[in-house]
Structure 1
Amino acid sequence: MDAPDRTLRGFVGYDMKRAFAAIQSDVNATLAPFGLRMVTFSVLVIIRDNPGLKQTQLAEILMIERPNLVVILDELEKAGFVTRRRAPDDRRAYELTVTIKGRRQCDRAVEAVAQHDARMVEGMDEAALDALHAGLRRIEANGRSSDDRRKVSRS
């Protein structure tokens, strides 16, 4: 008997969706003991790696709508992982910093996510992993090019 999703399996996007669902489920289970989810972990790592980053920059990097980012930052701030302070050069903007508690938690979570990542790509050699990364980045770039073309055609 053919797979019920055989037509869909012919599309890269569908396979990516299925793979992402598996990744998201596993990484969220991995991060739960740290009080984090995939999105809060991503935000915490970017802030840790870029102290003083402004909220608008963070939203652009992670492609998160600013109102949604505020909710995520509230969660991280309440947990004691990040602080927000007014930017001295622009009182309308906030600079983000990881607290000592947040840095420790982030470092432990990064180790756990590295183990999760290894589980997800088990059985793939280095060449296959390099090809996977290159392919995904090409798809992202093509998607951004398509977005730019759509914006121009609407003008």
Structure 2
Amino acid sequence: MDSAVLALVFRAGPVFCALALDEVVETMRPLATRPLAGTPPYVLGLTIMRGAPAPVIDMTRLLTGIDGMVERYVAVEAGRGLIACATGPVLGVQDVRVAPPDGPAALFTGVSTSLIAAVGTIGAEPLLLLRSIRAVPDEVWEAAGQAPEDPP
């Protein structure tokens, strides 16, 4: 049975994606970003958001492995601080119909397993409903000046 989620929909290269609206802090034009050596290829570097350093994640590279055009930053809370998700165009807030997690989302492996909550559609195109973005390695948080998370 499909369900609906109120979500912010955006493009990540050739892929439509969505984040549950309650995970989104704000959207903005891309900010000045400084590269950070020794990070995974999907980490574009650091920017300053709301007065604090924040890692910038290239959502196209993270999800598809290819370079994409960055048009917007979507700020999300990631436990240790804000993360800027570098995306293509933001298409707005929509009710997104998604299949249960044991449906098509179960086909994804690797990093996608921890990121993809469900698969839905937007028109005739597939859409990935993403989980909270927590794909930032500890080294990046440490470079951004954030202390490690306390164990649960």
The TM-score normalised by the length of structure 2 is 0.25
Greater helix proportion: 1
Greater strand proportion: 2
Higher relative contact order (CA 8 A, sep 6+): 2
